[in-house]
A and B are shown apart, each in its own frame.
Chain A
Amino acid sequence: MHKIQSSKAQLIYSALLFGLSCLALFFMWIQRGFCLGMERDGEELTAQETALYDRQIRVWGADAQRRLSKAHVLVYGMKGTVAEFCKNVVLAGVGSLTLVDDRVATEEALSSNFLIPPVENVYGGKTLAELCCNSLKDFNPMVRVSVEKGDLSSFGVEFFSKFDVVVVSCCSLSAKKLANDKCRKLSKRVAFYAVDCRDSCGEVFVDLQDYKYSKKKQDETIECDLKYPSFEDALSVPWRSFHKRMSKLYFAMRVIEKFEEAEGRGAGEVSIADLSAVLKLKKDLCTGQSLNESHVPDTLLERLVTNATEFPPVCAVIGGILGQEVIKAISGKGDPLKNFFYFDAFDGKGIIEDISAN
């Protein structure tokens, strides 16, 4: 009895909502026509937005939701972790999401990606970005999802100025550094993130440059100012200066990254056959950095080269954490992580490491 009533109420409610949203759209259209280019900062959320985002507005507030709806996000490298991330920010209601990945879909690329049906005649011939774009549009009609063609390294500084957040994945060390530097050249702050998952491990790098935010502690408001190093600067911090318990994954990821760069391989193009060469490189790097080799266990490197493909549960974890961090940075709510995050499904720890020159 009660159920019937409430579903009736739902029907009426959704009919009402539909009516209201048509009305809202109509007014927005009129407003656009008359005050083009006007700053619409004080604008309120529509009834449709309030209904859709109800539960999350209760977490981060209407202000944060408005800021989200004006943010433009760029992602590069459409594999499992980034697919998870895209889902999260599209659901959260960012203003726009631009996907870049010209690679043609292969079965391997789809293994952890729920955005693409693994049916050859559907994905055949299309790029990863195009395929993901189609699915993502469906998730939230209020978010503009689009594809941009091109190679990450070929985009100029101007290109990056269109975005508030840049997330890169599945690309070489030099491409990451280059993209990060271009973001840093801009006068406005573009939040930069690099993310990668291999086997059952994941890494997130965050560069928010100079990030100021306020937070409430008991009854007072504290102003916080975080200074982030660039990816290049963070990587140049000498290993011997780290605390003793530095995540082993940090070193292991650097070894593999260096190996791929030295061999001219693409991200993830390693196999068990490379193990001895990777272990040799590790020895050299540890010697050069005066770091005891035990900090970079061979077993860990073995895992990472044996299975370079992503592990779906880890994609979900890393894509979730990354989504949360991007939402924090856009909304100005919550303490952002600085500046590396590691997760290994083996021990289950999700650890933040701050790797800065000072």
Chain B
Amino acid sequence: MASPPFSYAVVKDAKVLMVGAGGIGCELLKTLALSGFPDIHIIDMDTIEVSNLNRQFLFRQSHVGQSKAKVARDAVLKFRPHIDITPYHANVKDPEFNVDFFKQFNVVLNGLDNLDARRHVNRLCLAANVPLVESGTTGFLGQVTVHVKGRTECYECQPKPAPKTYPVCTITSTPSKFVHCVVWAKDLLFAKLFGDKNQDNDLNVRSSDGASSSENVDDVFERRKDEDIDQYGRKIFDHVFGYNIELALSNEETWKNRNRPKPIYSKDVLSDELAQQNGNLEKNCACDDELSVSAMTSLGMKNPQDIWSLRENSKIFLEALRIFFTKREKEVGNLGFDKDDQLAVEFVTAAANIRAASFGIPLHSLFEAKGIAGNIVHAVATTNAVIAGLIVIEAIKVLQNDIESCRMTYCLEHPSRNMLLMPVEPFEPNKSCYVCSETPLSLEINTNRSKLKDLVEKIVKAKLGMNIPLIMCASNLLYEAGDVEDDMIAIYEANLEKVLAELPSPVTGGTMLTVEDMQQEFVCNINIKHREEFDEEKEPDEMVLLGWIQPVSAAENKDKSVDNGGSTTSDAVVTAVESEKDDEITIVSTLKKRKLPDEIDISSAPADVKHQKQLEVIDDEDDLVMLDGDLDSFKKRRLS
């Protein structure tokens, strides 16, 4: 056998950086320490929460609110006192973690929870030429991949699944799944009532009296001075669940092939005793301020797993709204939905359920609604432990400089070809990857209409994931973020507001822009193509970035083609094609991200045309995984 045994010598001399001290991170730090790694640095910006404790085993109840990186360090030093662990309670995107910082490590190990940070670390590893072992888990599924510059593909060589989006009309008018109702309740109704009033919102705010008359009608959501809060609550209820549904019903065309929703008015669901009841509650709440943050508590409902009746949902809706406007008045106007905000979750659950009832969609418990609204990723300790073990195994191979033996490993829920852990040879770098190759991108844009600001926000930051960008046209600096000299600030500010063709160094069709991120030490070129017209529905940004995602050509796939895109129930679908000789296996894999029941037929817009008018479910927190959802039709490519 050619492969050398695992050598402790490389471990003893290694200095490693771990990014993330969460689900995978805790397991990883423990396994690294046990395996004899003497010098470990760990970055995590998060603090400990109760829902972490069932798997992030280095943390205890008493640590809630403290830095994950620091507590993890202390816990591991208890059983391995003689190693060095350096914690950073900080964001890996902070400028102190620059290329020089990364260069001091022999390998970087990711246990991250979001795409943005993963891309950032990928670029720093490429710039510093440090190998990266990347990982992710969701439920029983997990994966570990190895990225070595020039030898294997980088983290961004393959397209990543775009955030789930829903067409606006599905959310505003024709929901067919519970998730549509949750998005409506969270992104439209909650935002309208408690969020920033200046934000665009697709909710119809016109009242029945105003609709027919003139343009300047009253906004129903404006609460009149001294308006009784219970009356206001009922007015909102009747407007969004009653009147707006009636209005929608009047458009016969919409309901030709759909079930007609039924309007729900508060008086039909709740008898008039409510007003009286609320009065009583007010008295009860006054004596215990702490409990009044929850509408469930104040109504005596306990189990988050229960599915409430329409009547109960209506009571929660009104009670939560009342509490927001009385006990949390100061926050109203700048609240964003937070899944750890109990009252916000209660409100969104109730509103989503009432809407669901109206549209004949099955109601859900608070527990389920919270999972959907907060986009909570399923997580168990065992998968994280397995993945952490696999990361260390790959890290040791990398340290031995035995890249030939490195594998991408998938942890599966249902065995494929008798394997629960499936190793796959890493792919070679994608030659047209805009991150690790020098292939330019091209951008179709109306250079007479789009401003530099649009380009910076919608393309450079949102799509290219740059943190502190700098934009150059030929040798002229058009824009620079970060620490800029005072006299330049005004110039850049002015440039941002100019349309491209009118910049000091005009950007028109045929211009090549150079975009650079100083921190990531990442440069790429963008060829500008002027285009006059854009499809308002499909291309609302009026920009189309090409080369950003390489479509995988099906014709290229000479191995047995696998397309399990249509499968619905299995969480992971992987097919291996075994070759005749030795133990070598040739693998064609399709891994699907674990799906929430309601997610299955989400219409996904083409990833390069991110539809601004669509509502996004933003991934946040915890062990979010980017299982490479679109790993379809790859063929094995040997490392050269």
Could you tell me which A residues sit within 8 Å of B by CB distance? 2, 5-7, 9-17, 19, 44-45, 47, 50-60, 62, 80, 84, 87-88, 91-93, 111-112, 114-119, 138-141, 200, 216-218, 297, 299, 303, 311-317, 319-321, 323-324, 327, 334-335, 337, 341, 343, 345-353
A-B contact pairs, 23 of them (CB 8 A): A6-B341, A11-B65, A12-B290, A13-B50, A13-B340, A19-B291, A52-B51, A52-B54, A55-B55, A57-B367, A58-B371, A91-B57, A93-B54, A140-B53, A216-B569, A311-B35, A312-B392, A313-B388, A316-B388, A321-B420, A334-B140, A337-B420, A345-B393
Closest partner residue, chain B, to A216 (CB atom): B569
Q: Name the contact of B386 in the complex, choosing from A62, A216, A320 (C-beta under 8 A).
A: A320
Tell me the B367-394 residues at the A interface (CB within 8 Å): 367, 371, 376-386, 388-390, 392-393
**CA separation between A284 and B27, bound complex, in Å?**
43
Decide if B382 touches A348 in the complex (CB within 8 Å).
Answer: no
Which chain B residues lie closer than 8 Å to A327 at the CB level? 380, 382
**CA separation between A47 and B64, bound complex, in Å?**
17
Decide if A45 touches B421 in the complex (CB within 8 Å).
Answer: no
- Shortest distance from the beta carbon of B63 to any chain A beta carbon, whole Å: 12
- State whether the Cβ of B423 lies closer than 8 Å to any Cβ in chain A: yes
Which chain B residues lie closer than 8 Å to A311 at the CB level? 6, 35
Given contacts A14-B50, A59-B379, contact A50 B27 (CB under 8 A): no
**CA separation between A139 and B80, bound complex, in Å?**
18
**CA separation between A257 and B342, bound complex, in Å?**
56
**CA separation between A353 and B302, bound complex, in Å?**
46
Q: Name the contact of B421 in the complex, choosing from A5, A80, A349, A353 (C-beta under 8 A).
A: A349
Which chain A residues lie closer than 8 Å to B27 at the CB level? 316
Given contacts A9-B338, A114-B79, A313-B392, contact A47 B57 (CB under 8 A): no
A-contact bits for B447-462, CB 8 A (1 contact / 0 none)? 0000000000000000
- State whether the Cβ of B30 lies closer than 8 Å to any Cβ in chain A: yes
A-contact bits for B22-65, CB 8 A (1 contact / 0 none)? 00000100110111000000000001011101110100110011
- State whether the Cβ of B78 lies closer than 8 Å to any Cβ in chain A: yes
Decide if B81 touches A348 in the complex (CB within 8 Å).
Answer: no
Binds A, one of B176-184, B200-208, B409-417, B498-506: B409-417
Q: Name the contact of A321 in the complex, choosing from B33, B49, B386, B622 (C-beta under 8 A).
A: B386
- Shortest distance from the beta carbon of A346 to any chain B beta carbon, whole Å: 6
Q: Which of A141, A217, A343 has the most CB of B within 10 A?
A: A343
**CA separation between A120 and B60, bound complex, in Å?**
26
- Given contacts A13-B50, A327-B380, A349-B419, 12 further A-B pairs with CB under 8 A are A5-B331, A16-B297, A51-B51, A52-B51, A55-B622, A58-B378, A59-B380, A84-B385, A114-B34, A313-B396, A316-B31, A352-B418
- State whether the Cβ of B293 lies closer than 8 Å to any Cβ in chain A: yes
Decide if B393 touches A313 in the complex (CB within 8 Å).
Answer: yes
Which chain A residues lie closer than 8 Å to B291 at the CB level? 16, 19
Which chain B residues lie closer than 8 Å to A341 at the CB level? 420
- Shortest distance from the beta carbon of B227 to any chain A beta carbon, whole Å: 26
Decide if A92 touches B376 in the complex (CB within 8 Å).
Answer: no
Q: Name the contact of A303 in the complex, choosing from B5, B384, B568 (C-beta under 8 A).
A: B5
- State whether the Cβ of B422 lies closer than 8 Å to any Cβ in chain A: yes
A-contact bits for B286-329, CB 8 A (1 contact / 0 none)? 00001101100100001111000000000000000000000000
Given contacts A17-B50, A92-B380, contact A324 B140 (CB under 8 A): yes
**CA separation between A138 and B418, bound complex, in Å?**
37
Given contacts A16-B291, A303-B5, contact A314 B389 (CB under 8 A): yes
Closest partner residue, chain A, to B305 (CB atom): A62
Given contacts A56-B54, A92-B381, A312-B31, contact A14 B64 (CB under 8 A): yes
- Shortest distance from the beta carbon of B129 to any chain A beta carbon, whole Å: 25
Which chain B residues lie closer than 8 Å to A6 at the CB level? 338, 340-341
- Shortest distance from the beta carbon of B346 to any chain A beta carbon, whole Å: 12
Closest partner residue, chain A, to B412 (CB atom): A350
Which chain B residues lie closer than 8 Å to A2 at the CB level? 336, 338
**CA separation between A218 and B569, bound complex, in Å?**
6
Decide if B31 touches A323 in the complex (CB within 8 Å).
Answer: no
